[in-house]
Structure 1
Amino acid sequence: MAYVKKTIISGRVVEIVKKYDRRYFPKGKHAKFKNDVCRQPKQNVTTEQQEKVNYRQKELKLTRLLNCNFTGGDFHIVFSYREDLRPNSIEELKDDKKKLLRKLRTEYKKQGKELKYICVAEIGKRKALHFHFVVNQIDTSIFQKCWTKGFIKISLLDNTGQYKDLASYLIKYTKTNKEEAKQLNGAAWNSSKNLEKPIVKEEVITKSEFFKEEVTQSKRYKNYYLEKDSVHSGFDEFTGYKFFKYTLVRLN
């Protein structure tokens, strides 16, 4: 068989993806007719197309990471600099971030907690350097104690459990300032090593189930709702293979 259903569980969010997968066909037995499971794959992939796909994958990965590790009441914090205290180099900026993280870990430990974070460093439109942090709950008074070089803006995460909009906001700098973002962060973002990863389950399904493009919720997901605009079907733009997907979110 070559039809699979993948279930990705990220906190309260469950993604269901049905797709064709060549790995499950015996050697030499792949489907030959595009009207069965796929169209002809594109042969010439442009750099721009590949970059768009890579960006979407990064955004999806960050969304899942946020959904797995943070919840309502956790914080999105912006640490910014006073103009006269802005770092003179990227190395100085990185050193400031290390010092900030060291102080945060110490304060969390004092309260019997372990710091969990995702961080993105950015340069604003007026060359204003700042950090975006998503962190787990703690007494907010510690943040001013840990950051003395400027201003702090604190926002509470909502209780939806679905933080794709936050992920999009955090990663947008990478999309428009790829090289600067690489210099500042080394990657699209930095995170603590204690973050949980999504649970991925994969099962082989029948051809008839694969082509049945309808949302199905087992008893396991009876307390979930279908996320608006999450139902999509079509063909993968690079592999050419058919897919059908939707997202469920657990109710409070």
Structure 2
Amino acid sequence: MRIKKRWIFRESIEVEEGYTGRYGAPGMPRQKRRKATPEEIKKINQYNREKMIRRLIKENFGLYDYWTTLTYKKGQRPTPEEMKRDTQKAVRKIRTEYRKNGHELKYVIRMGIGERGGPHIHILVNRISGDNYGTDIILTRCWEKGHVYFTTTYEYGGFRKLANYIAKPLEEWEPETLKRYTRSRNLTIPKPKVKKWEADRWKEAKAPEGWYIEKETFHEGLNPVTGKMYRHYIMYRIRGGD
């Protein structure tokens, strides 16, 4: 039996197609499974991590929310535990300021240490603004350890690039105690729309009117481990000119 999952967001639709159960298309012999290699497992886990974070971001953030970098003053080299405490303290202050102005804070955090040892903290945060307040003002006031640099998710390169960065493995010089990423508990977990049906042929993937399939995201073939046919891709909304 065929299965199709669609994650529908404001500006994109992610599609995954395959088969349910242990068999492929009707009339086809069962494909022999094999045990995945450690390298394949590592690659699959990384790919799934990137997908999960990308969809989480798409569900909860917009193109012009802030991807910020918090740095420390020159010469400061806090431990991962100290960075964690500093981040938690700043987040509590930021959340309080958001609530004072009638908003709830949403965030995803990734801490890092540069190749030369420079500690920094990336925070993806929902952007707010109003009379005498705004995300840029709030974060600058609440982070007392150094500087704050702002980039919108659009300027950074969109959600795919952002998710890949947040999900990337620790660098060889970064300690294992440096937790990869954390997020606020109020983020909504996206759920797909699922369709199942009997079919023995795969039709060409087509985007609905007003959308297009991003070629770079289109992948189709046989899963080397399960031996089953699969297809996945991302469609984006066509934006009109100004």
**Same fold? TM cut 0.5:** yes
Q: 2:149 aligns with which of 153, 160, 178?
A: 153
Whether 1:41 and 2:33 are equivalent positions in the alignment is yes
Per-residue CA deviation, residues 32-60 of structure 1 (Å, 9 max, x unaligned), is: 99x937743223x2222211111111011
Q: CA deviation at 1:159?
A: 8.7
Question: 2:24·2:229 contact (CA, 8 Å) conserved in 1?
Answer: no
5+ long unaligned stretches in structure 1: 24-29
Query: Counterparts of 1:1-252 in structure 2 under 5 Å?
Result: 2-22=1-21, 30=23, 36=28, 39-43=31-35, 45-87=36-78, 89-138=79-128, 139=134, 140-158=136-154, 163-172=159-168, 174=169, 176-177=171-172, 180=175, 182-185=176-179, 188-208=180-200, 211-217=201-207, 221-252=208-239
Percent pairwise identity: 30
Distance 1:160 1:235, change over 3 A: farther
Structure 2 length normalisation: TM-score?
A: 0.85
Question: Per the alignment, in what secondary structure is the counterpart of residue 229 of structure 1?
Answer: helix
Per-residue CA deviation, residues 50-108 of structure 1 (Å, 9 max, x unaligned), is: 11111111011111111111112200000011134432x22212110110111110111
How many residue pairs match? The answer is 233
Distance 1:243 1:214, change over 3 A: same
5+ long unaligned stretches in structure 2: 129-133
Measured on the aligned residues, the alpha-carbon RMSD in Å equals 2.7
Q: CA deviation at 1:216?
A: 3.0
Q: CA deviation at 1:233?
A: 1.0
Question: 1:13·1:162 contact (CA, 8 Å) conserved in 2?
Answer: no
Question: 1:37·1:241 contact (CA, 8 Å) conserved in 2?
Answer: no
Distance 1:226 1:159, change over 3 A: farther
